Chain A
Amino acid sequence: MSIFCLGVNYKTAPVEIRERLAFAENELPLRLREIVQLAAIDECVVLSTCNRVEIFGAGGSAAIALSRLAAYLTALFRIESPDAIAFYRLVDEEAARHLFRVTAGLDSMVVGETEIFGQVKKAYAIAKDSGGSGRRLNQLFQQSFRVGKMVRSRSRIQQGATSVGSVAVDLAEKIFGKLDGCRVMVIGAGEMSRQTAKSLMSRGASIIVSNRSFERAQELAGELRGEAVRFEDWERTMGEVDIVISSTAAPQAIVNPKMVRRALRRWGDRSLFIIDIAVPRDVDPAVNEIENVYLYDIDDLERIAEVARIERENQIVQCEAMIRRHIEEKGIAAMAAEKPRAFASPPAVAVGARTAGLVLGTRGSDLALTQARMVESALRESGFDGDIELRIVRTTGDKRPDLKLSEFSRGDEPVLDKGIFTKELEEALLRGEIDFAVHSLKDVPTALGDEFAIVATLERAPVEDLLLTKAPHRQLPETGTIATGSVRRARQLLWLRPGIRVVDIRGNVPTRIRKLCQNPEWDGILLARAGLERLGIVGPDAEGFDFEGSAISVLRLEAADFLPAAGQGAVAAECTKSNRKAIEALQGINHRPTFQRVAVERAFLARLQAGCQTPVGIHTWFEEEGRVLRARALVFPEENPAAEPRAAQAAGDPRDPDSIAGQLMRQIQDRPL
């Protein structure tokens, strides 16, 4: 007798797949009755939201049930075959743990979000009413609600606002209390203003819209159930409102301290909250010095939201521990697999030897956590049955999202090339706090300390870079403004397209895409395909996607033409050389071809003595059925931005990476600039 879960979510499947699998709410009772007719399925609950489609079931053999379920979905949604979709299949305790994590908000796109709790409750209620769920799923879901409440009340997982709109609402409520009766004026009718105004409106505020185009103002006002005023009247109206959201396309500030003081004189001791979303800013920063006026620009709101997101992610480890303890104390494993309690709980008295656990260290960003879970899954699939505890470590790069990558190398003690994203993880390795660390390999310095080794790499994701743009392109555009934080991408771009203007960008992947959407002067950004696909933002061959209401086009830059970074797309596990336990476990998940390729790439970088800020692109590939490993490299001189790069090609035995790296190096040295 088993409990199981079959599903896809925003991490494992892009929206094009998830929308095909979405269940319409009015059809759920019928579908639930159909599912429990399938072999080995006695009970089921369907959870179908915009970010996940999961079916929880209870019945006989989990293997048979999952297979039947996959076939059922394939037929129902007219999918080519069950293998066309990468369903995850969870059984017994894993299925229970997953449900608890989902209900607690730990598996959500915005960690700690509360909507999912209501969605799970609703899905369960529909299943119960239509006879889909029975005794076992009733028990399991009741436990999940208890766990969800416990995790949310005993941790800070849902504290802090994680989006610009919700930060604005939080701040407004901190100034005014309840927003009923508050009046909000929106100057300019951009998307971000609309979203922020909607957030405030949802709390009872009334909206006034002013825009250069009165028709557009009326349109937005209608949508927000507010009123429109002519653009020439916005200054007068400022004296009658509590909150101003400004997002015009003015080239310079349109709101100055004198104007605000004039408006203040009219309304006395009322506070004024100004949200300046525009870039360049609409409001003179000196306005914040005025008593009773609180001015926040888009960077302030983003920073507050980012801090809250990081804080929530830091809570994940504690919440996972709470869930684990709950599962042990309540004998959830026994309930899930319907085994007698005496054998199922607690694990400490289980019969037979269990592998000692491992502690996995990772950064807390969305991508880092996704990659950490990939390694965890790989370890499970390789047969590792010990506990794997995830521990988040904040690195230098995480602590200063405001600095450009190049700024880390300034000063007497530059931290760049000492690993701004890896140093603290290595320190945790040395202190024994973690057994191994999971990195994006391109973040790892070429020269590791003597104590450390990269012992495994997962199968490499596609290495190409993607150009994300507001307008579609069939090839690299000749002109425009492109943002990237990578000197390699910047230099290649300028070499291939001298007419392009390159600007710097920092932040995690979603933040960068958001910045592209919000900055009217930018035409595109460059990002690694691997990261975008792992986060579920872009599908494998997608030509575009929707991001928070904005349409983004995708152009894939072939690796042969736009060389990737060394180690790009590779997830690596690093540990100390003395940790035999970790080395043995990790060698079981090592993907040898990837390991050979990145060994060549990193050996070349080491010979160049190149760091993360050296503009080097390198692409490796196998030929002759894996017997020959080829490499092509481009090295751009750091000191002369206008100079042509030096190019090199080599080939050799993949078991001898140093030889291939040596060939490349000799060619580079033979071609002085």
Chain B
Amino acid sequence: MEILALIASTLCFAGGFVYSVLAVRSGRHRPKFLNMVVLAVGFVLQSLFLHFRGQMHGRCPVTNSAEILVFLSWSTVLLYFLLGRTFRLSLLGVFTSPLVFFFQGTALVSLLLSADADPLPAGAIDPWREFHIGVSLLAYGAFALAFIAGVMHLLQNRQLKRHQMGVLFHNLPPIRYLLSALVRLVSIGLVLLLAGIASAFRVEGDVPLAHVGTAVVSWAIYALLLSFHLTKKIGPTKFAVGAVVAFFFPLIHLAVY
């Protein structure tokens, strides 16, 4: 049942992406309202999946890599709804959909193929563990959005530098807004990840040092990046490149753990 919700959600994001690309390319109108509806429906279906899984496990549904990917996608979309419109980055949806589709598509394949993906029996809940997982994945969701904003910044910068005013140019937000979004998303991610790391030390039982260490490394990389930018040691373009490249560290962390 929950798999069906996940399949439907994944199709929503795929459809949203295709629709947005076609609308942008035709240049007729910005894909704002309909795209938001599709993302909203996809988000609700994601939430259903996580809810059912949570019921089955009796805990935060991040017991395997597939569920982690879905939770990461859910965090990304949640943060997009909370923050994307604030920054008037409506086109972020066009770029968010393919990333989320990729994560969920991978998760689906894993769930369908892997025996390890079966639901675990319900057990005792450690609230600190739940908090640690949830907040950390939210942080990675913020970094995922920062990755997307970084890609958009680099695209817009390239078009401005090369004097290319194509269809995408007209639809991408102003480069100053993209930089502002980058800074805020990285900052939010750092705050959330710090909370996630700190809560790891309150989790019952042993938490592998390497697990925490990798998270700390991810945090340090983003912190360095942000501080270099705020102290003018690197310019906006390098900051955007950094936000794109740095996202691979959280991904590696998730892949390993």
Residue from B28, B160, B172 in contact with A155 in the complex, judged by beta carbons closer than 8 Å: B28
Q: Is the CB of A291 within 8 A of B236?
A: yes
Enumerate chain B residues within 8 angstroms of A171, measured Cβ to Cβ: 160, 165
- Chain A residue nearest in CB terms to B165: A304
Enumerate chain A residues within 8 angstroms of B160, measured Cβ to Cβ: 171, 174-175, 294
Enumerate chain A residues within 8 angstroms of B176, measured Cβ to Cβ: 175-177, 271
Residue from A153, A177, A307 in contact with B174 in the complex, judged by beta carbons closer than 8 Å: A177
Residues B168-184 near A (CB distance < 8 A): 169-170, 172-177, 179
Enumerate chain B residues within 8 angstroms of A308, measured Cβ to Cβ: 165
- Chain B residue nearest in CB terms to A159: B27
Binary CB contact string for chain A from 304 to 321 against chain B (1 if under 8 A, 0 otherwise): 100110000000000000
Complex Cα–Cα for A118 and B182 (A):
40
**A173 contacts B by Cβ under 8 Å:** yes
**A160 contacts B by Cβ under 8 Å:** yes
Q: Is the CB of A174 within 8 A of B175?
A: yes
Q: Is the CB of A176 within 8 A of B174?
A: yes
**B237 contacts A by Cβ under 8 Å:** yes
Complex Cα–Cα for A174 and B165 (A):
10
- Give the Cβ gap from B217 to chain A, nearest Cβ, in Å: 26
Interface size on B, residues (CB 8 A): 23
- Chain B residue nearest in CB terms to A308: B165
Q: Is the CB of A174 within 8 A of B235?
A: no
Residues A267-301 near B (CB distance < 8 A): 268-269, 271, 288, 291-292, 294, 296, 300
- Chain A residue nearest in CB terms to B232: A268
- Chain B residue nearest in CB terms to A156: B27
Residues B1-57 near A (CB distance < 8 A): 27-29
- Chain B residue nearest in CB terms to A178: B174
Enumerate chain A residues within 8 angstroms of B229, measured Cβ to Cβ: 269
Complex Cα–Cα for A174 and B176 (A):
8
- Give the Cβ gap from A308 to chain B, nearest Cβ, in Å: 8
- Give the Cβ gap from B100 to chain A, nearest Cβ, in Å: 26
- Chain A residue nearest in CB terms to B179: A269
**B156 contacts A by Cβ under 8 Å:** yes
Q: Is the CB of A153 within 8 A of B29?
A: yes
- Give the Cβ gap from A50 to chain B, nearest Cβ, in Å: 28
Enumerate chain A residues within 8 angstroms of B236, measured Cβ to Cβ: 269, 271, 291-292
| Contact A288/B161 with A174-B169, A177-B177 known, Cβ cut-off 8 Å | yes
| Contact A292/B237 with A268-B232, A304-B165 known, Cβ cut-off 8 Å | yes
- Chain B residue nearest in CB terms to A154: B28
Complex Cα–Cα for A177 and B176 (A):
7
Complex Cα–Cα for A175 and B229 (A):
18
Interface size on A, residues (CB 8 A): 26
Residues B136-168 near A (CB distance < 8 A): 156, 160-161, 163, 165
**B253 contacts A by Cβ under 8 Å:** no
Binary CB contact string for chain A from 151 to 180 against chain B (1 if under 8 A, 0 otherwise): 001111001100000000011011111000
- Give the Cβ gap from A296 to chain B, nearest Cβ, in Å: 7
Enumerate chain B residues within 8 angstroms of A177, measured Cβ to Cβ: 173-174, 176-177
Complex Cα–Cα for A174 and B27 (A):
17
Residue from B156, B179, B237, B238 in contact with A174 in the complex, judged by beta carbons closer than 8 Å: B156
Enumerate chain B residues within 8 angstroms of A175, measured Cβ to Cβ: 160, 174-176
- Give the Cβ gap from B34 to chain A, nearest Cβ, in Å: 14
Enumerate chain B residues within 8 angstroms of A307, measured Cβ to Cβ: 165
Complex Cα–Cα for A156 and B177 (A):
25
Complex Cα–Cα for A156 and B24 (A):
11
Enumerate chain B residues within 8 angstroms of A173, measured Cβ to Cβ: 174
Interface centre among B156, B165, B232 (most CB of A within 10 A): B165
Q: Is the CB of A291 within 8 A of B175?
A: no
- Give the Cβ gap from A257 to chain B, nearest Cβ, in Å: 14
Enumerate chain A residues within 8 angstroms of B179, measured Cβ to Cβ: 269
Enumerate chain A residues within 8 angstroms of B161, measured Cβ to Cβ: 288, 294
| Contact A296/B163 with A155-B28, A173-B174, A176-B174 known, Cβ cut-off 8 Å | yes
Enumerate chain A residues within 8 angstroms of B163, measured Cβ to Cβ: 296, 300, 303-304
Interface centre among A153, A269, A288, A303 (most CB of B within 10 A): A269
- Chain B residue nearest in CB terms to A268: B232
Complex Cα–Cα for A159 and B232 (A):
37
Complex Cα–Cα for A153 and B26 (A):
12
- Chain B residue nearest in CB terms to A299: B163
Q: Is the CB of B156 within 8 A of A292?
A: no
Complex Cα–Cα for A626 and B179 (A):
74
- Give the Cβ gap from A542 to chain B, nearest Cβ, in Å: 36
- Chain A residue nearest in CB terms to B177: A177
Complex Cα–Cα for A173 and B156 (A):
12
- Chain B residue nearest in CB terms to A176: B176
Q: Is the CB of B28 within 8 A of A291?
A: no
Complex Cα–Cα for A160 and B232 (A):
35
Complex Cα–Cα for A171 and B163 (A):
10
- Give the Cβ gap from A161 to chain B, nearest Cβ, in Å: 9
Residue from B28, B156, B170, B235 in contact with A153 in the complex, judged by beta carbons closer than 8 Å: B28
- Give the Cβ gap from A222 to chain B, nearest Cβ, in Å: 30
- Give the Cβ gap from B228 to chain A, nearest Cβ, in Å: 11
- Give the Cβ gap from B179 to chain A, nearest Cβ, in Å: 7
- Give the Cβ gap from A104 to chain B, nearest Cβ, in Å: 15
Enumerate chain B residues within 8 angstroms of A296, measured Cβ to Cβ: 163
Q: Is the CB of A271 within 8 A of B27?
A: no
- Give the Cβ gap from B242 to chain A, nearest Cβ, in Å: 13
Residues A165-202 near B (CB distance < 8 A): 170-171, 173-177
Enumerate chain B residues within 8 angstroms of A170, measured Cβ to Cβ: 165
Complex Cα–Cα for A549 and B163 (A):
28
Complex Cα–Cα for A377 and B27 (A):
33
Complex Cα–Cα for A154 and B176 (A):
30
Enumerate chain B residues within 8 angstroms of A288, measured Cβ to Cβ: 161
21 contacts between A and B (CB under 8 A): A154-B28, A155-B28, A159-B27, A159-B170, A170-B165, A174-B156, A174-B169, A174-B174, A176-B174, A177-B174, A177-B176, A269-B232, A269-B235, A269-B236, A271-B175, A271-B176, A291-B235, A292-B235, A292-B236, A303-B163, A304-B165
Q: Point out residues on A near B: beta carbons under 8 Å.
A: 153-156, 159-160, 170-171, 173-177, 268-269, 271, 288, 291-292, 294, 296, 300, 303-304, 307-308
Q: Point out residues on B near A: beta carbons under 8 Å.
A: 27-29, 156, 160-161, 163, 165, 169-170, 172-177, 179, 229, 232, 235-238
Instruction: Enumerate the 3 nearest inter-chain pairs by beta-carbon distance, A residue then B residue, closest first.
Output: A177-B174, A291-B235, A156-B27
17 further contact pairs, Cβ within 8 A, besides A269-B229, A292-B237: A154-B28, A155-B28, A159-B170, A173-B174, A174-B156, A174-B160, A175-B175, A177-B176, A269-B236, A271-B176, A271-B236, A288-B161, A291-B236, A291-B237, A292-B235, A296-B163, A300-B163
